[in-house]
Amino acid sequence: MHRTIYESRFFSGLFRALSIVFLKLAGWRRVGCVPDLPKYVMIGAHHTSNWDAPISVAILFSFRIKAYWLMKNTAFRWPFRGLLLWLGAIPVDRTKSADVVGQMAGEMKKRAEMVLLLAPEGTRKKVTRWKSGFYHIARGAGVPVVLAFLDYRQKEGGLGPVFRPTGNFEADMGEILRFYSTVTGKRPERMGAAEIPRG
């Protein structure tokens, strides 16, 4: 895995300070605690706006969470490739999603520590089903799922419960979706996931 901003004490400290100031000025409150776990899959919902990314990044830095995240490979072009890699992005070919699940599960299994951040909706547009890749990566790697969120109604963002997949896909997804049913995205009309994704 490539080196990221988190390996630089100066830049990671600087970005944390700037993130705390940004959240305060924007009126956002950080909630929850970082789980004492060496590795886990973190999901964030609901993803309905371009504002989700900067607020989420600020919350991650404020919590000092070293997270990797997946991004379509077409975005990794000059002059952005180096910056995206440094910020923790991992390029993926969305036409080979099955391979991505296996590769990321394998990567997490062989590393002593790793946090992988994923947006299960996969897009800012309204969807009726989430993508189930995060669940299968967690199951394949034998790691839990941390439920992160941005609630625009309360102006709260942070970390919710730690969920340990049981292998009963429908029951597990039902529990996860129940947690997010109380979270309001910036554009509520784009919130979806009313149905359990196909396993």
Query: Mean pLDDT in runs of 10 for the chain (199 residues)?
Result: 84 95 96 96 86 90 91 83 87 72 91 91 64 92 96 95 94 92 79 58
Whether the CB-CB separation of 183 and 45 falls below 8 Å is answered with yes
Instruction: Give the three-state DSSP class for 117.
Output: strand
Query: Which sign does the torsion angle of CA 174, 175, 176, 180 carry?
Result: positive
Q: What is the pLDDT of residue 26?
A: 94
Q: What is the pLDDT of residue 49?
A: 83
Q: What is the pLDDT of residue 40?
A: 98
Which residue's structure tokens are 């630089």?
A: 8
Domain ranges of the chain: 5-190
Token pair, residue 118, equals: 């994923």
Domain 5-190 class in CATH: alpha beta
